[in-house]
Amino acid sequence: MDDGRGCGRAVSSAAVSAAFFDLDKTVIAKSSTLAFGKPFYKGGLVNRRAVLKSSFAQFVYLLQGADEDTMEKLRDYLAVLCAGWSVAQVREIVAETLHELIEPLVYDEALDLFEEHRAAGREVVIVSSSGEEVVGPIGEMLGVDRVIATRMVVADGKYTGDVAFYAYGENKAAAMKELAAQQGWDLAECWAYSDSATDAPMLEVVGHPVAVNPDRALRKEATERGWPVKVFTRPVRPRRGLPTPPGPDEAWLAGLVVGVAAAVVWTALRRSRRV
């Protein structure tokens, strides 16, 4: 589960509740993890074929997202594929490319919501199935209070291929409950935002669920349950002066496997579903 890591700014112990945000297509306009295909190609971690698949995977993701079956298969493929990668090399690549790749994707509307919730005395928490090594620095860049993200096991400076915690589906809801219990938040007074029906558990666990840029399944569920629906359309560079994040430590980098290798396996997963 999440270790309660604060990031981005001083976390106030007086916060009365929290607003939980999914990351991809909720706070930023694309997949945070698929965006790193080219930098990892330049760093020698993936080949040219993987980069081409990354571009295609990003297009598919924007059109239809990922269902539960795809996400579960993705986790297993990625763990095997990236075992043995150097944490130090990953750290360097992420630090060098984060601002260039992610800043232009941030939704202006999401930044407005961050400010509204902080003004109401709530902490802002990003909850993402992407790796901590990506989600942590993004949280620093945006000044959020905490992140909940996927973690991989690291030994001797390299990824072992084992998943320590997969921040997906029911696991997201469980991590949110744990964090709320630690901080003394009443989840009935908390908010949650996501674009995908696979995040229904994280939306159900709070008193104020909101569908953002929802996929077809989530839009249907939101209509049936009377959940508000928001459409974000303005991805822009953050308007505010944001601190440059420090180089992510080994703990944040531990989940990189889950994100980066998505580019490599996405097409294969779609093909397997048609067989």
The model's pLDDT over 30-83, given as tens digits with 9 standing for 90+, comes to: 878 777 767 777 777 766 655 555 444 544 444 445 556 655 665 665 666 577
Cβ atoms of residues 32 and 237 within 8 Å: no
Q: Which of 24, 145, 195, 215 is catalytic?
A: 24
Q: In what order do the strands lie in the sheet with 191-194?
A: 158-165, 146-155, 122-131, 17-21, 191-194, 208-212, 229-230
For residue 10, being part of any structural domain is answered with: no
For residue 91, being part of any structural domain is answered with: yes
For residue 1, being part of any structural domain is answered with: no
Q: Which residues pair with 28 in a beta bridge?
A: 24, 106
State the CB neighbour count (10 A cutoff) for residue 166.
Answer: 20
Pick from 100, 144, 129: which is nearest to 201 by CA?
129
For residue 206, being part of any structural domain is answered with: yes
Q: Is 253 helix (H, G, I), strand (E, B) or coil?
A: helix
H/E element holding 273?
helix 262-274
- For the question of residue 22 being annotated catalytic, the response is yes
For residue 3, being part of any structural domain is answered with: no
- For the question of residue 69 being annotated catalytic, the response is no
State the pLDDT at residue 269.
44
State the pLDDT at residue 36.
73
Which CATH number do you get for residue 252? 3.40.50.1000
Q: Provide the percentage of residues in the chain whose pLDDT is more than 70.
A: 67
- pLDDT tens string 195-231: 999 999 999 999 999 999 999 999 999 999 999 999 9
Q: Which of 22, 145, 199, 215 is catalytic?
A: 22
Could you list the residue range(s) of the whole structural domain that residue 114 is in? 17-274
Number of domain units in the chain: 1
For residue 95, being part of any structural domain is answered with: yes
Average pLDDT of the segment spanning 100-126: 95
For residue 27, being part of any structural domain is answered with: yes
State the pLDDT at residue 67.
56
For residue 5, being part of any structural domain is answered with: no
